[in-house]
Structure 1
Amino acid sequence: MPSLTFPPTPLHTPPPSTKEKLDYADLAVIDISKARTAEGRLELAAEVKNALLTHGFFYVINHGYKQDETDRMFDIAEVPFSGVSNEEKQPYTHNIKESGSFQGYKRRSYWHIDNGVQDQLESYNIHRNVNKLPHPPALCPFLPEIEAFCKHNFFNVIHPIFRLIALSLEIPEETLVNMHNYDAEGETYVRLVKYYPRSEDEIKTNNVWLKGHKDFGSITILWSQPVAALQIMAADGNWRWVRHIDNALVVNAGEALEFLTGGYYKGTIHRVRQPPPDQQGYERLGIINFVLTDDDVELTPLTGSPVLQRAGIYATKDDNAPTMKAWRQSRASAFGTSELKKGTQQRVEEDVINGIVVKYYS
């Protein structure tokens, strides 16, 4: 619970929710508090399984953070953008293409969107070990709260979700938990991100601010915020909006989970596009937790899952299977900077990474 002893920060005032009638995705709502009992986990495992097989996205509620605690984190999320000058940001800005890591700042206009248009989002990425790298002085007073936030996410949200996924695959509950250790080498991190409104170039990018893609980790956790911009590709090939729910989390599957389940659970294609007309003048502030396995985990189908076996998916020796470290470094280096080739589908482009075709959708 935030207290008066915490350092002050400007209050982030969230924009009003859109009043536009949008075509929203019908996503499941998972009450994670039910996961405290064995009976509750079995019930939720079935719900998570259905959600992953239909949309690959679902909401999580009753996750242990109250609304005022969430509001405080959004106040803190503003600090690395409005509280740090462009000159002060420079030492904490890293070459993502060379390092294969998103840690620190990703500055605006680093990624190419389409037809010569560069992105207008800025992010500051913080490893779950908040002391792994130095931070701008303006952010340092908030590191204890950010660390508590990372630990809460990891042990009260991420691990319970992995237990539910394991149960849905009929394997021991701790199987995926043991691949995602808090103190192991890896790059699970929190991203504080701000999308700045664009006044032009929308026609050149078909109103897309970030191309449709799959995240390369296991799962991604997004703190719901009111500016409508996130869309998922539904099974019928149409884009549908993700509705804002106060103090809910939006969870989606990534490529690592797709690899670990042999494609049974697929990474979800999603994109960010221009908000509806009544929100187009607002900045879009976000908090995202990207969850990756430990670096040394080989991304091959999980051994012994009766569910995967019944689906005809078996774990076999694959000398070409990447480790999480190799996959996330390759994907981070190439994202938004590779020269993409046109795919066989309309408005689809492709890149080949470690022999695997990666697709991007406009």
Structure 2
Amino acid sequence: MAEQLPVIDLAALAPGAPGREMALIALREAAHRYGFFQLTGHGVPAACDIALRAQAEALFALPEDEKRAIAMLHSPQFRGYTQMGAELTRGRADWREQIDFGREEPARPLSRKDAPALRLHGPNQWPAALPGFRPAVEAWQQAMEYLLLRVLRACVASLGQPREALQPLYGERPWWTMKLIRYPAQASEGQGVGAHKDGELLSLIAQDAVGGLQVEAADGTWIDAQPTPGCYVVNIGEQLELASDGYFKAAVHRVRSPASGQARLSAAFFLGARLDSRIPALTLPPALAAQARGYTRDPGNPLLHDVGANTLKGRLRSHPDVARVHHADLLDGASSMPSRTATPR
């Protein structure tokens, strides 16, 4: 039988829930061994996902000129629509179209003294032809922010820490991004998204019934993240790997293009630390510290404790066209860095 990702019941992780200690151990082991798990018991109404999917289908069905009117190329904050093949993972084009969002806010007036990563704060781009699109997207964003903060607190508690030990990283307004993604079918299985890790604290993927998301196991084989009704897929990001000194695993994963003649649609939400923060090192209990592997150290793509610098580095590499138009002054510093992972899924 093929290996499956663990299933974690979020309701069992709530403070005071019966059997919570055993549920925390199951969560800790899933995050340590796989870095991925299926999440049930989350309490998000199915109607929230259904409304989002309907609007995503409507968006991707728009004429090309209407989608390009909100192209990411217009956004210094890397928000908006990206056509097929325009985002890179490790220098190779991903075969998907997508639209990216962040927290809606005005662009900040900045001076040369400000950290370059603060340029990432700003507005989204919304399709004028779909009046129901923004409300559905923002309702889902609000639900996912609340949900992933609950998961994050449970992850921290599973390490023997106070639930709010990482609260200074996210405060009242965590940094997050979101994607709606469409993977068209290909005649043969190809790269929907190449193998990569996510840079944030936690990521969540809402899948449709078309498979394709795969997680790399310790032996180098690939585990299919089977679409499961009522479940989200959640994975550990590099920020949480850093904070736990590698006890939690930011796993390599990819998406293979569907070859069935049916496109794949997914939504992804990435919860991260504030751009002006630095990732701390949690003091793990001795038994857990002895199992910590240390975070991944790749000289070609170093992980930075400075959240803003690490986040901006990823955007510049994944979207070189946007970088050239809006951030040419930063490219000399990034030109020696190989193209980093794109974000999924």
- Scaled by the length of structure 1, the TM-score of the pair is 0.74
Write the distance in 2 (CA, Å) between the matches of 1:58 and 1:87: 39
Query: Which position in structure 1 is the counterpart of 2:239?
Result: 256
Query: Which position in structure 2 is the counterpart of 1:13?
Result: none
Q: Deviations over 1:324-359 (max 9, x none)?
A: 211111012213769xxxxxxxxxxxxx99989968
Superposition deviation, residue 238 in structure 1: 0.7
Query: Which position in structure 2 is the counterpart of 1:16?
Result: none
Report the CA distance shift for 1:59/1:213 in structure 2 as closer, same or farther (over 3 A): same
Pairing partner for 1:216 from 199, 207, 224: 199
Query: Which position in structure 2 is the counterpart of 1:238?
Result: 221
Query: Which position in structure 2 is the counterpart of 1:43?
Result: 22
Question: AA paired with 1:169?
Answer: L
Query: Which position in structure 1 is the counterpart of 2:156?
Result: 166
Task: Say if 2:89 is the partner of 1:89.
Answer: no
Q: Any conservation in 2 of the 1:128–1:147 contact (CA below 8 Å)?
A: no
SS in 2 for 1:272: strand
Query: Which position in structure 1 is the counterpart of 2:104?
Result: 129
| Overall identity of the aligned pairs, in % | 24
Mapping of residues 99-110 of structure 1, within 5 Å = 99=76, 101-110=77-86
Q: Any conservation in 2 of the 1:130–1:143 contact (CA below 8 Å)?
A: no
Query: Which position in structure 1 is the counterpart of 2:141?
Result: 150
Task: Say if 2:324 is the partner of 1:306.
Answer: no
Task: Say if 2:276 is the partner of 1:296.
Answer: yes
Report the CA distance shift for 1:357/1:228 in structure 2 as closer, same or farther (over 3 A): closer
Question: AA paired with 1:294?
Answer: R
Report the CA distance shift for 1:312/1:262 in structure 2 as closer, same or farther (over 3 A): closer
Question: AA paired with 1:166?
Answer: V
Mapping of residues 2-17 of structure 1, within 5 Å = none
Query: Would you say how many aligned residue pairs link Structure 1 and Structure 2?
Result: 305
Runs of 5+ unmatched residues, structure 1: 1-22, 339-351
Report the CA distance shift for 1:66/1:321 in structure 2 as closer, same or farther (over 3 A): closer
Pairing partner for 1:192 from 180, 192, 196: 180
CA RMSD of aligned residues (A): 3.3
Report the CA distance shift for 1:285/1:312 in structure 2 as closer, same or farther (over 3 A): closer
Superposition deviation, residue 117 in structure 1: 7.1
Q: Any conservation in 2 of the 1:113–1:209 contact (CA below 8 Å)?
A: no
- Scaled by the length of structure 2, the TM-score of the pair is 0.77
SS in 1 for 2:214: strand
Mapping of residues 37-76 of structure 1, within 5 Å = 37-40=15-18, 41-76=20-55
Runs of 5+ unmatched residues, structure 2: 107-122, 296-302, 322-333
Query: Which position in structure 1 is the counterpart of 2:330?
Result: none
SS in 2 for 1:135: coil
Q: Any conservation in 2 of the 1:42–1:164 contact (CA below 8 Å)?
A: no
Write the distance in 1 (CA, Å) between the matches of 2:341 and 2:181: 23
Select between 57-66 and 246-255 the one with higher mean Cα deviation: 57-66
Write the distance in 1 (CA, Å) between the matches of 2:225 and 2:292: 32
Superposition deviation, residue 36 in structure 1: 3.1
Runs of 4+ in 1 over 6 A off after TM superposition: 312-315, 352-360
Write the distance in 2 (CA, Å) between the matches of 1:105 and 1:246: 28
